[in-house]
């Protein structure tokens, strides 16, 4: 049985959509699982693998710049930003979370290309592991892929 939280099963058609993915290298195992989930779902949504462009950056702080660059050079229909921030003992988590979220929203609204915020912001490693599906939890990358196609369709219509 599916949980009450979340969007639920959706059917979207991503044929002829150009999708960009910007992913981080930090928290590699978690990000890889999220990326794999998103990529697999894009293929299930009929996106051609040749229409998926992937850029890898160091950490989450670099994501907004890479997303903006991708939009300006590659002209995708939508971009998914994938990364994971896990709170440590300092305020670094809060500063990076706020900067990345604000940066992605600004790009989303000013450049007119949908950007899906797939940056997990977790208080513990356990929360991140559950949200990427490594230990039986739901892989949020699947939802981000469907959301990306839905947003690209809205943009095109």
- Identify the pLDDT of residue 8: 61
Would you call 138 a catalytic residue per the annotation?
Answer: no
Catalytic residue from among 10, 75, 92, 155: 92
SS3 category, 106:
helix
Dihedral sign for Cα atoms in the order 61, 78, 43, 4: positive
Q: Is the pLDDT at 1 greater than 50, yes or no?
A: no
pLDDT above 90 coverage of the chain, percent: 83
> Which residues have CB under 8 Å from 120's CB, separation 6+?
30, 34, 83, 84, 85, 128, 131, 132, 140
CATH superfamily, with its number, for domain 19-156: Lumazine/riboflavin synthase (3.40.50.960)
- Identify the pLDDT of residue 64: 99
Q: For the segment 73-114, what is each residue's pLDDT rounded down to a tens digit?
A: 999 999 999 999 999 888 889 999 999 999 999 999 999 999
**Bridge partner list, 136:** none
pTM: 0.93
């Amino acid at each position: 049985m599916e949980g009450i939280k979340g969007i639920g099963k959706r059917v979207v058609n991503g044929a002829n959509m150009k999708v960009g993915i910007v992913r981080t290298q930090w928290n590699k195992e978690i990000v890889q699982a999220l990326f794999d989930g998103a990529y697999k779902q894009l293929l299930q949504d009929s996106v051609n693998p040749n229409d998926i462009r992937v850029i890898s950056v160091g950490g989450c702080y670099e994501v907004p710049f890479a997303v903006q660059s991708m939009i300006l050079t590659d002209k995708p229909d939508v971009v998914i930003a994938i990364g994971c921030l896990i709170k440590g003992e300092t305020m670094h988590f809060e500063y990076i979370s706020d900067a990345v979220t604000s940066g992605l929203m600004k790009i989303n609204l000013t450049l007119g290309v949908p950007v899906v915020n797939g940056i997990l912001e977790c208080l513990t490693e356990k929360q991140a592991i559950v949200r990427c599906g490594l230990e039986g939890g739901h892989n949020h990358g699947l939802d981000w892929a469907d959301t990306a196609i839905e947003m690209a369709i809205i943009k095109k219509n």
